Amino acid sequence: MDTDLDHPGVQRLRCSVQNYDWGKRGAESKVARLFALNSGYDSVQDDKPFAEFWMGTHESGPSFLVNGAVENGNAIGSVSLSLKEWIAMNPTVLGHGVLNKWGCDLPFLFKVLSIAKALSIQAHPDKKLAKLLHKLQPNVYKDDNHKPEMALAITDFEALCGFISLKELKAVLNNVPEIIELIGPGVASQALNLNEEDDEQKVKSVLRSVFTQLMSAGKEITTKVISKLKSRLHLESEIRQLTEKEHLVLHLEKQYPGDDGVISAFLFNHVKLHPGEALYLGANEPHAYIFGECIECMATSDNVVRAGLTPKHRDIQTLSSMLTYKQGFPEILKGFPLSQYVTRYLPPFDEFEVDRCILPSKASTVFPAVPGPSVFIVTSGEGAMHSLTSKDVITEGDVLFAPASTEIRITASSELHLYRAGVNSRFFQIL
């Protein structure tokens, strides 16, 4: 590998892991396996959850350059500089456009997630709100950046995302009396009297009242009402088929007994992704990942405003006030082919895009040189990565940083699954 800092080439990275409670445990977790292989460990720890594998420069989970030898595709050298420090020493690796727009840092954060248990109902603030929250509560909101993000399914994947339509909302209020008990008949009546011809702002205002009242009802009454809901659904399951959403609510109640986020799931779209399908989430949009494994990419931030399905800090007032209250099912991205083996996912955010590459044994593909940096992760298989200055054996768990204007050729020695994150190519078209 080329390690001449005057002419930096592709760099191998050692990356960080987050052991959040909702992560899959031990050998069941793709994150645990990738982290063990990336770190050079012989085995996976079975006694704790492995939730997120982070690749990037965020201070909560930085990546580091590996100096030294590679044995059987595994880095065995020492860890030296952080990627952020190295970029500061070599700013040209970002390319001029990226450097001018975002300064001397990687504008995206790349992750793998392994989810056993639902994440919190949450949203990410826009830039203006992020700056304010960071200033007011820096211990809770760790940075001042926005966090648009995209989840690309590796396995079958489930999430709650965005508010259901007005028609569906009315059906929920007519069929889930426990919600009316929490929000009150006045707010429920306002929602039931809405129609499709009503002003959009009026509809959003009423939806905001429904959600805010539901999340603010108080622990004692919420616990009591969820217990009633659970008993009712178990009784009704003996005489009718429960709906998919009802099954989901009972599943969430097992994970988070008495939590106000359980009943709020009725208000959100239940999204199911197959491998290779993606979901993007803009600022101030409510969501909660439920189960599965995915590649995730986002602007470099860790700002999360939570309001349910979590033991962590909740900020119901901020979340209720910041949401867009847009209704309707979210767009599912299926990507578009760049080549025979590479599919690109292009969200409407400047900071990032993701390529998915599935390369059969003995096949090759080229990632053309682009004006910004790229981060590659191998999630299964093995092969070789060629650039003008280096040739690297690559295998599962390997993460590599490619500077701007670096053409990369990949050859598979067994079926190879690889993902690339980079700055959104549309960004360079408007420079």
Could you list the active site residues? 306
Separation between Cα atoms, residue 101 and residue 106, nearest integer Å: 11
124 annotated binding-site participant = yes
DSSP single-letter state for residue 275 = T
Q: How many residues does the chain have?
A: 431
287 annotated binding-site participant = yes
Torsions phi, psi of 386, nearest 5? -110, 135
Q: How far is CA 282 from CA 161, 323, 324, 331, in A?
A: 11, 11, 10, 12
For 97-126, b where at least 16 C-beta lie within 10 A, e where not — what string? bbbebbeebbbbbbbbbbbbbbbbbbbbbb
SS3 for 143?
A: coil
Return the percent helix, strand and coil in the chain, to nearest 5.
30, 30, 40
Angle of helix 200-215 versus helix 185-192 axis, rounded to 10: 150
**Side chain identity, residue 323:** L
**What are the strands, taking DSSP E only, across 321-395?**
332-333, 336-337, 342-345, 353-359, 364-367, 374-380, 382-386, 391-395
Compute the C-alpha angle 111/114/115, nearest 5°. 125
Closest CA to 417 of 155, 70, 199, 183: 155
407 annotated binding-site participant = no
Longest dimension (CA), the chain: 73
Helices (H) and strands (E) in the chain, counts: 13, 28
Separation between Cα atoms, residue 29 and residue 300, nearest integer Å: 24
122 annotated binding-site participant = yes
Binding-site residues for Zn(2+), please?
A: 122, 124, 149, 287
